[in-house]
Amino acid sequence: MDILLLGSGGREHAIAVSLKRSPKCGALYVAPGNGGTAGIAQNVSLDITDGEAVRDFAVARGVGLVVIGPEAPLVAGVADVVRAAGIPCFGPGAQGAQMEGSKKFSKEFMGRHGIPTAPYEAFTSADSARAYVRQRFDAGVGLLVVKADGLAAGKGVVVAKTVDEALEAVDECFGGHFGAAGATVVIEEGLTGPECSLLVFTDGTTMRPMASAQDHKRAYDGDLGPNTGGMGCYSPVPIVTDAEHDEMIADMQKAVSGLEQEGIDFRGVLYGGFMLTPEGPRVLEFNARFGDPETQVILPRLKTDLVDVMMACATRTLDQVELDWRDEWAVTVVLASKGYPVAYQKGFAITGIQDAEALGDVTVYHAGTALDEAGVLRTAGGRVLDVTAVGPTFAEARDRAYQACERIHFEGKSLRTDVGLRALRGRDAWEA
């Protein structure tokens, strides 16, 4: 079966690697792809938010499955156009993508279906949002989270500890900093506790939970600095208790069932971002696709053929598929460009990837790379590589990932050195 995968990041390279492992994968096209996908698939130039263009390419090449990686084409309704042409598609339609594309929609959905989340209000006026901020801090709330309602390229979320921080975030949204995404603003009360993710495969009716994962969003060691797209991740999450895990699965089932009850066609991945509060898990957000870098630690542990799973989701036959997982740990460390996520340079040559993978049980996924005209691999983004290691223990996987990082070189290479440390120290590390 020939497959078209949309996207260009580390998530898409990880998906491509898993798809290529399947004996059922024929030609694999990646649009637009990156320097890593170029080595295992055919990168193609395509506007991935243009449903008609994606459909026409798939029809012309006889593609049997379209896999949508990032959120923008999902929100644009690309899956709807592809399905209307009779081509199986892994990814929800535009209605389902609202779970990520509109934070207001997502919060209202949680309320309708009894999914525990933080108290919130939504605003379309800067004055009313500013008044609410002052009122909540005056009432003794110690933390507010200000969110642009729409897609803001991984930005548009500010955790504010003071009135001034919250007001500045409100003004950024309504001041056009995030374009149309900031026309509506959601303000919710901050929760406390460790964060983690639980992703599920679904065909709209049946749900199959994946392994838990925990991302590191802040740019610098000690969870300092600005938020990023993710600087490291591991799976599974050792601090999650069995009871918490069961609650998270139950919440994800409520979401899948709620989507079906509302007549929303959701086939693909539903991502649940959770905070493990003293009162139990609470949903911070839903995403309508694989997380990045969660994908880079989840898929290496999946033993089941990914083509089978994705086709089952696309054709509503997931009840016929069970997931089988490697009983090992996976850790990924992001190698970023100096200055990310604010300002950084591109175009530096990258060396040492083969040496890193020679350690064994190490895969280097490309996030922001490109091949130049001479075939030299160069940096082409803020997050450059995801260095992923698998091992029989958490500590061994983590050590191997960092050993692999030491073998890779490019000018301005930066990384967090503390990925996974708090999890190794146990739940008490989050209270310190």
Strands of 120-123's sheet in order across: 120-123, 185-189, 144-148, 157-160
CA distance 116 to 232: 27
Number of folded domains that form the chain: 2
**Residue 228: both structure tokens together:** 């990023």
* Torsions phi, psi for 222 (to 5 deg): 75, 15
Q: What is the pLDDT of residues 344-384, one digit of tens each?
A: 999 999 999 999 999 999 999 999 999 999 999 999 999 99
The answer as to whether 303 is a domain residue is no
The answer as to whether 268 is a domain residue is no
CA distance 425 to 421: 6
Percentage of residues in the chain with pLDDT exceeding 90?
A: 93
pLDDT at 428 over 90: no
Average pLDDT for residues 401-414, to the nearest whole number? 98
35: domain CATH number is 3.40.50.20
Average pLDDT for residues 154-182, to the nearest whole number? 91
Cβ burial, residue 421 (10 Å; 0-12/13-18/19+): middle
* Torsions phi, psi for 180 (to 5 deg): -65, -25
The answer as to whether 401 is a domain residue is no
The answer as to whether 362 is a domain residue is no
Domain end among 142, 159, 183 = 183
The answer as to whether 245 is a domain residue is no
Percentage of residues in the chain with pLDDT exceeding 70?
A: 99
Domain end among 136, 164, 183 = 183
The answer as to whether 223 is a domain residue is no
Handedness of CA 325, 217, 134, 176 (dihedral sign): negative
150: domain CATH number is 3.30.1490.20
Q: Provide the residue range defining the domain that includes 55.
A: 3-93
Q: What is the mean pLDDT of the chain?
A: 96
Using H for helix, E for strand and C for coil, what is the string for the chain? CCEEEEECCHHHHHHHHHHHHCCCCCCEEEEECCCCHHHCCEECCCCCCCHHHHHHHHHHHCCCEEEECCHHHHHCCHHHHHHHCCCCEECCCHHHHHHHHCHHHHHHHHHHCCCCECCEEEECCHHHHHHHHHHHHHCCCCCEEEEECCCCCCCCEEEECCHHHHHHHHHHHHCCCCHHHHCCEEEEECCCCCEEEEEEEECCCCEEECCCEEECCEEECCCEEEECCCCEEEECCCCCCHHHHHHHHHHHHHHHHHHHHCCCCCCEEEEEEEEEECCEEEEEEEECCCCCCCHHHHHHHECCCHHHHHHHHHCCCHHHCCCCECCCEEEEEEEEECCCCCCCCCCCECECHHHHHCCCCEEEEECCEEECCCCCEEECCCEEEEEEEEECCHHHHHHHHHHHHHCCECCCEECCCCCCHHHHHCHHHHCC
CA distance 64 to 26: 10
Report pLDDT for 150.
92
CA distance 148 to 71: 15
Strands 28-32 and 42-43, how do they pair?
Answer: parallel
Q: What is the pLDDT of residues 203-217, one digit of tens each?
A: 999 999 999 999 999
Domain end among 53, 73, 93 = 93
Is the peptide bond prior to 226 cis by the omega test (within 30 degrees of 0)? Answer: no
Written as one letter, the residue type at 210 is M
Q: Same structural domain for residues 84 and 137?
A: no
Q: Same structural domain for residues 134 and 53?
A: no
pLDDT at 432 over 60: no
pLDDT at 265 over 60: yes
Contact at 8 Å (CB) between 198 and 274?
A: yes
The answer as to whether 244 is a domain residue is no
Q: What is the pLDDT of residues 21-45, one digit of tens each?
A: 999 999 999 999 999 999 999 999 9
Contact at 8 Å (CB) between 38 and 5?
A: no
Q: Same structural domain for residues 88 and 132?
A: no
Q: Same structural domain for residues 87 and 7?
A: yes
Handedness of CA 170, 171, 172, 177 (dihedral sign): positive
How many CB atoms lie under 10 A from the CB of residue 349? 12
For residue 285, what are the contacts with CB-CB under 8 A and spacing of at least 6? 100, 103, 106, 273
CA distance 50 to 112: 32
Average pLDDT for residues 271-295, to the nearest whole number? 96
The answer as to whether 179 is a domain residue is yes
CA 76-81-82 angle, to 5 degrees, is 115
Closest alpha carbon to 252 in 206, 217, 220, 191: 206
State how far the alpha carbon of 82 is from the alpha carbons of 59, 63, 86, 126, 245, in Å: 9, 11, 7, 39, 35
Q: Same structural domain for residues 130 and 48?
A: no
Q: What is the pLDDT of residues 81-136, one digit of tens each?
A: 999 999 999 999 999 999 999 999 999 999 999 999 999 999 999 999 999 999 99
Radius of gyration of the chain (CA): 21
Q: Same structural domain for residues 8 and 88?
A: yes
For residue 128, what are the contacts with CB-CB under 8 A and spacing of at least 6? none
pLDDT bin (cut points 50, 70, 90) of residue 431 is low
